[in-house]
Structure formats: C-alpha cells, structure tokens
Amino acid sequence: MKNVYNFSWEDLGNLAEGRPNLGGETSVAIYRLMQFTFKDVLSKELGREKTCELFVKAGLLAGREFCRNVLNPDLPFDEFIADLKAKLIDLKVGVLRVEQADMESLNFVLTVSEDLDCSGLPIFGETVCDYDEGFIAGILKEYTGKDFTAKEVDCWAIGDRTCRFEVKPVEA
Amino acid sequence: MNSTQALNAIGSCLALAMERGLGKNGLVFPVECKEAEDDTFQNSCQNLQQIFAQMNESYRFAEALANGELKTEVSRSNIFAMPLKALQASLRHLTWQTNQVADGDLSQQVDFLGEFSLSFNRMIKSLRDKKSLEQRLKTITDVLGEGVYLVDTEGRLIFANPEAERLLGYSFQEMTGEMVLHVIHKQYADGTFFPPEGTQLGTAIRTGQAYNSDDCVFACKSGRLMPVSLACRPVITGGKLEGTVIAFHDITEQKKYQESLQTINALLEKQASTDTLTGIYNRLKFSKLLAMEISRARRYQSSMAIIMFDIDKFKEINDAYGHQAGDSVLIDMARVVNANVRTTDIFARWGGEEFMVIAPSCTLDQGVQFAEMLRFRVAQTTFSVPRKVTASFGVSVFRSNDTELSLTNRADNALYRAKGNGRNRVEAEDAEAFYHQAGASRPPTS
Ligand SMILES: [Zn+2]
C-alpha cells in the first residue's frame, strides 16, 4: 500500500454502471453521518483545530476539482456565477447567493442556504462549515488563479438561517 | 414579590403593549428578578426577561428591514430574529442581483425566493427578450447599407449605425449627445449657410413630422458636403414623441449621373436644333422660334420683320470650285451675318443657300434698312473662293392675321423679286398687293 493517496476525478467511479438501481444520489443524513463521524474520530486523534484545518484543505481540493470537472472556468464572471449557482442546485449542494462581489479587490460576500453541511443543525455556538469554506476558496482559486480564504461568518449552527461566507484573496 | 404579583405585572404590561403597540421603549419587563421569592421563580423570570429583550431586538431589526436598512446586525442567540435574518439575506441578495442587471448582467436567476423569484426571473426574461430584439435590430441596421441616426426630440444623437459612421466619418462616441444637425446639416448644397430659422429637416425633428428629401447635403467630418437622400420619421411611444429616426444614403453618384444626363440632353437638344454645317439654328428650330415670336408679337401687338436671303449664283460657285468650296462659302456667310445681327435677332439656315433672320421689334422700313446693312457687309466680305459673293434679300413684316407660312411666303416673294431685279439687292414685300388681296389694315411703316 502506498503511503500517500492522490485524488483524481476518475476515482469517483462509474455510477451508472456501479449503481444501476440506486443511482447517483444518497441522503443528506448519510453524508452528514460520514462528515461528523470523521470529525469525531479525527478530532480525538489530532485535536479540534487540526481537524478543522484538514477539513478546509480537503474542501479546497474538492472545490478545485469541482471547478475543473463540473464548471466552465472560461466563462465571464457573471455567467460563471450563474452557472455555479445552477450546478449547486442541480447537485443539491445548497442555494448559493451573492450579496457582494467586488471584482477589483476580489472581495465577496456569499450565502449558502439549505446547505448540505449545516442547515437544520441544532445550535452549537460555533460555525461548522469548514469543508464549505475550503470548497468556495477552491472554486475561486481555480477560476481566478489566486489564493483565497473563505470565512464562514454566519452559520445555521450558530443561530443564523443561512451560512454567510466572507471571501478574500490571500495577501501576498 | 410573589408569583401572582409578578404574573399580574407581566399581564398588565402585555395588555398595554397589545393595546398601544411596543412604542419607543419596547416591552419593559416589569419584575425585578432578584426580588423573586425563590430560585426556580427567579430563573423563570430571567428567561422571560430575555424573551422580552429578544422580542424588542427582533422588533427593531424588523423595523430596520422594513426601512430597507440591510446592514443592521442582530445577536445570534435571538430566536425571533432567525427568519428575519433569512429575509435580510434574501434582500441583500436581491439588491446585488438588481445591481447586476443594472450593469447589464442578464445571466442571473433568483432561486427559491417565492414571489421575489417569480417577479425577478420574469423581469430577467423580459429584459433578455428585449435585448435579443435589440440585437436583431442592431444587426439589421448594421447590414442595412443605409446610414441611420436616432435623435431625441431636441435633436441630440442617441444612436448611429456603422454605415452612418462610415458615410460621414464621425464615430458614434464623438457624436453622442451632440445636436447632430448643428454638426452635419447647416449648409445648402452650394455651401451657403441656412438662415437662422433653420430647415425643414430641423422643423420635422422638432415637430415630429415625417420628411423626405433628395436635395439635402450633410457635412462629412472631412468637410466634404455629401448629397444625400434622406427619410426622417418620428418615433412615437404611447402617443408621445420620443425622437426621430433619420435614414440616409450617399447620392453623389446619382447626382453625377443626373448631371451628365442633363448635359447629354442639352447636347442632343442643341444638335437637334443646329445646322451641322454652319452651327446656326436649322429650319426646324427656326420654325419653333418663329411660332413663338409670332404669338409674342400678336400678344404685345409689337412689330417684327422677317428677312430671307439667298446667296447669288451659288450653283455656279459649286460647279466652279466644288462642293467643299461651296460649303466654306456657306460657313463664311453664316459667320458674317451672325456677327452683324443683334442678340435678340434669330438667325437660321432655311435650306440650301437660303437663310432667315427674325428681327423682333422692327417695322418693315427698319427691316429693309437692316437687310441693306447685311447685304452691304456680305458684299464687302472676302470669301474663300476667288470671286465676289453677294446675296439677295426679301423682307416682310408681321401682320395680326399672319401665319408662319403667310409671313415667310411674302419674304420669299420679295426675295424672288430681288433676284429678278438684278441680285445683290433688298426688296420689301409688296404691300399694296397684299392689302388688295387680303383686305388687311395697313402696317406701321415709320
Ligand atoms: Zn454553516
């Protein structure tokens, strides 16, 4: 067994062939079950902070791959966002909405409602969408070629009805 | 304070709020928690107090939203404010979307926001339809081959198609908002400037009238005055004049063609009326001019003399020196006489070696004197043949009942007598014979 795994989009497999009856979809509960159990186990091995950091990293990789394989990074920004919104709805990830987009400073405020990770959770008092933070930053990195940080400033899990992310380019 | 007292206080506080609304201070919790009689009751009081505070906060938050203030923040733990926060997020998003549309982005949709989505998406669709219609119209005007300007009611340029830019050399950018007619339409075709009251095109634009013209010129950026054919039509929306469309094209080539046609026609006309050998009028043109002069003399009761003359012994000249020499005698004869007639006289070749002169405003005597002068000049002239060339003249004068034929016949008869009386002389019409014959009144003979 190799020591390191490198993700590739093909590893997601041929779902049509592999799941002829059950298809490509699963339940959100099962998705969350996996995420939260990972969080449980990893935090006990590595600590809470390190776990969050790893979730952001994984989300970033997912975002880049998603942009490369599902989106069209050649579209102008307005159309790219329209396409991203449509795809996230199609794939039942969440309802992405833009509140601010400053194309000069590349500062964005985005919200995700009906989020796959957190909507409907009990109030924990801390944001939980670490994976989403990475995912958004990853998509924008792939689209613009620049590094971004996405910070979840509002989250269902802290009493908001929608998750709000402030996205900024990483200062060089 | 016992629980009954506390409940009563809370009850009357709520009753007042339900009667008068929350007011400026909101709900004020009427119980001092520390004064509650036991710990359990104190706890409940604290929860209730917190609920009161949350209700006050969410009420103020809702008020801010109602006023369109979308940046107001509210504390996380406020359970009443949660759907309001979702509303705030939706409104922020709609604001962004609307700004996007204002900036020309029609690719967005609003998802899952109920009636907001329906209305917004309907607006986007209608704007997209409008845009594609505009695009189609733009394509049409792009390929039209006709310059198109759209001006507002004051004449300021709103739109120019590429053909208009190409024709006049002004880009749309440099002309946008300009009073377009002040730049391109200020002169007549000959370069003189319009009077201050302006032109028909300017009036058509101001008053919303349709107007067509093939006689305008537009000034190009290069300074050239381009003759244009133009059509101008008002744009009326909902009964209100919104502006005017001016469509035009360059008619330089047509104008040139028209001018060359006019030149050709004038040439043809001249050819049809000119004697090819001598260059003076031919008999056909003479007849037309005589008819005009007769009707003029009749209308104004003016006098008019006719002089018919003939080169003496022309057949001998032809026989002796050949036809070419004869032709040059004819040419010289025409030149000599032409040089001695007045500009108002009409001189024509009648046929062969015969010529005619119409002398308006001449009496018979004046006509005879005129003919005598011509006879003398001819006799004085050296022709290109080695012999003396003379001519004989017959003169008649217009009478009120004359026809072309009667008038020329009398001149012809007089000419015949001049020949019979020895040539190189002038004879007037035989007045007595005419009066006797026709019983007409005697002509003026002063
Ligand atoms: Zn969240």
Cross-chain residue pair B89–A111, CB shorter than 8 Å: yes
- Ligand 1 centroid–CA B406 distance in Å is 120
Domain ranges of chain A: 49-169
With a CB cutoff of 8 Å and minimum separation 6, the contacts of A51 are A39, A42, A43
Residues from chain A contacting residue B78 (CB–CB below 8 Å): 159
Name the more confident of B370 and B192.
B370
The predicted pLDDT at position B249 comes to 93
Assess contact for A127 and A157: CB atoms under 8 A.
yes
Banded model confidence at residue B436, pLDDT cuts 50, 70, 90: very low
Of B76, B95, B97, the CB nearest to A158: B76
- Which token pair is B176? 């946008």
The predicted pLDDT at position A161 comes to 79
Chain center to CA of B187? 12
Both ends of chain B: CA-CA distance in Å?
Answer: 150
Is the alpha carbon torsion for A18, A22, A24, A29 positive or negative?
Answer: negative
Give the separation between CA A154 and CA A128, rounded to whole angstroms: 10
The predicted pLDDT at position B33 comes to 80
The predicted pLDDT at position A146 comes to 93
Span A136-161, mean pLDDT?
Answer: 90
Give the separation between CA B135 and CA B112, rounded to whole angstroms: 31
Cross-chain residue pair A114–B78, CB shorter than 8 Å: no
The predicted pLDDT at position B181 comes to 85
Give the separation between CA B377 and CA B390, rounded to whole angstroms: 9
The predicted pLDDT at position A124 comes to 75
Give the separation between CA A107 and CA B163, rounded to whole angstroms: 43
**Closest CA relative to residue B390, chosen from B330, B311, B336, B316:** B311
Banded model confidence at residue B437, pLDDT cuts 50, 70, 90: very low
- Which token pair is A49? 């902070």
- Ligand 1 centroid–CA A36 distance in Å is 13
Model confidence at B439: pLDDT above 80: no
The predicted pLDDT at position B433 comes to 53
Of B76, B79, B89, the CB nearest to A97: B89
Cross-chain residue pair B90–A97, CB shorter than 8 Å: yes
Model confidence at B432: pLDDT above 70: no
Cross-chain residue pair B107–A158, CB shorter than 8 Å: no
Model confidence at B440: pLDDT above 80: no
The strand pairing partners of B308, in sequence order, are B356, B394
3 state SS of B365:
helix
Share of chain B above pLDDT 70, in %: 96
Q: How far is CA A26 from CA A37, A42, A112, A164, B435, in A?
A: 17, 24, 20, 26, 132
Residues from chain B contacting residue A153 (CB–CB below 8 Å): none
pLDDT tens-digit profile of B81-120?
Answer: 988 998 999 999 999 999 999 998 998 889 888 998 999 9
Question: Nearest CA to CA, how far is A35 from chain B (Å)?
Answer: 25
Banded model confidence at residue B35, pLDDT cuts 50, 70, 90: confident
Question: Nearest CA to CA, how far is A81 from chain B (Å)?
Answer: 8
Give chain B's domains with CATH numbers: 3-95 (no CATH), 145-255 (3.30.450.20), 274-434 (3.30.70.270)
The predicted pLDDT at position B39 comes to 84
Assess contact for B100 and A78: CB atoms under 8 A.
yes
Span A90-102, mean pLDDT?
Answer: 92
Of A78, A111, A159, the CB nearest to B93: A111
Span A66-76, mean pLDDT?
Answer: 94
Span B400-429, mean pLDDT?
Answer: 93
The predicted pLDDT at position B234 comes to 92
Cross-chain residue pair A100–B86, CB shorter than 8 Å: no
Question: Nearest CA to CA, how far is A20 from chain B (Å)?
Answer: 31
Least confident of A97-101, A107-111, B5-9, B47-51: B5-9
Average pLDDT for chain B: 89
Span B147-176, mean pLDDT?
Answer: 91
**Closest CA relative to residue B194, chosen from B185, B183, B204:** B185
Model confidence at B446: pLDDT above 70: no
Model confidence at B358: pLDDT above 80: yes
Question: Nearest 5 degrees, angle CA B179-CA B183-CA B186?
Answer: 110
- Which token pair is B113? 């926001």
Q: Which fold has domain A49-169?
A: Muramoyl-pentapeptide Carboxypeptidase; domain 2 (3.30.1380)
The strand pairing partners of A166, in sequence order, are A109, A151
Model confidence at B216: pLDDT above 80: yes
**Closest CA relative to residue B70, chosen from B57, B87, B83:** B87
pTM for the whole thing? 0.59
The predicted pLDDT at position A15 comes to 87
Span B111-140, mean pLDDT?
Answer: 90
Cross-chain residue pair B79–A159, CB shorter than 8 Å: yes
Share of chain A above pLDDT 90, in %: 69
Span B368-375, mean pLDDT?
Answer: 95
Model confidence at A147: pLDDT above 80: yes
Dihedral pair phi/psi, residue B167, rounded to 5°: -65, -45
